[in-house]
Amino acid sequence: MLTRAAWLGRLAPALLGLLVIAGWEALVRFNDIPSYVLPGPLAVAETLWREGSSLLAALLVTLRVTLAALLVATLTGVLLAALMAQSAWIERSLMPYAVFLQVTPIVAIAPLIIIYVEQPFLALLACAWIVAFFPLVANTAAGLRSADRGLQDLFRLYGAGRLQRLRLLLWPSALPHFLAGLRISGGLALIGAVVAEFVAGTGGSETGIAFRILEAGYRLQVPKMFAGLVLLALTGIGIYAALAWFSRLLLRRWHESALPPRS
């Protein structure tokens, strides 16, 4: 049973959303704002309904790039972090370049990548990867360093090997940090894919949702732009929710962040 306060806590955001949408619709109607300036929510919904299947197909293309980039970023990020955990020297030599990738704006690198990487899917993937990569490396590396000192002593006392230490001690200690990085990178991968599509223009035979938004903009189909935006936002929320759920699933048995409060 939910208490009254809990119900209110759930209802309040939905209520606020409804209010904003209703206000928006009213604003558009009462001022007769044409839909190529600002479409009302109903017009957006109607476009979404009409063009839904073609927009969803485009969304799928973007989603494929996003998820592939997230996967590659996870693999390379964890691998690099594990390499850094082996010695302070390796970490000191690699970290500056990881930071370099992180601080250079993706819009500035994307055109170059698109020139050099011929295959459009790979070019988009590379852009999204660059954006998603850093939080994974940085968090996982910090996590691998954060293993409890007492447990480190224990492993030393029993003569644990390098790999045992990594697998049984460092990795479980790093898991919560890694998952925090993954939640951030999930959203960033989507942003990276969208930016890359904007820069790439038509690219291959299949076009993603970001390009569709751009295209609609050229044609002044503003409701369609909003419709694409809504889909993108929902996708971002979906990715975050899925990763948050995954993270809770892995940590619920032991980590403070996922344990229920003491009663």
C-beta closer to other proteins: residue 64 or 255: 255
Radius of gyration of the chain (CA): 23
Interatomic CA distance for residues 106 and 99, integer angstroms: 13
In the three-class reduction of DSSP (H, G, I as helix; E, B as strand; rest coil), residue 2 is classed as coil
Q: How far apart are CB 145 and other proteins at their closest, in Å?
A: 17
Specify the residue, 4 or 262, whose C-beta has the smaller distance to other proteins: 262
Site residues (CB under 8 A) for other proteins?
148, 150-151, 153-160, 164, 168-169, 172, 175, 253-255, 259
| DSSP letter assigned to residue 219 | T
Q: Which is closer to other proteins, CB of 101 or CB of 175?
A: 175
CB of 144 to other proteins, least distance (A): 15
Least distance between other proteins and beta carbon 150 (Å): 4
Nearer to other proteins, 86 or 257 (CB): 257
Give least dist CB 136 to other proteins, A: 20
- Closest among 102, 190, 163, 93 to 138, alpha carbons compared: 102
Cβ distance to other proteins smaller for residue 15 or 259: 259
Query: Which residues lie below 8 Å from residue 239, measured CB to CB, with a gap of 6+?
Result: 66, 186, 187, 189, 190
Cβ 85 to other proteins, closest distance in Å? 18
Do the beta carbons of residue 230 and residue 41 sit within 8 Å? no
Sign, CA dihedral 62-64-69-74, equals positive
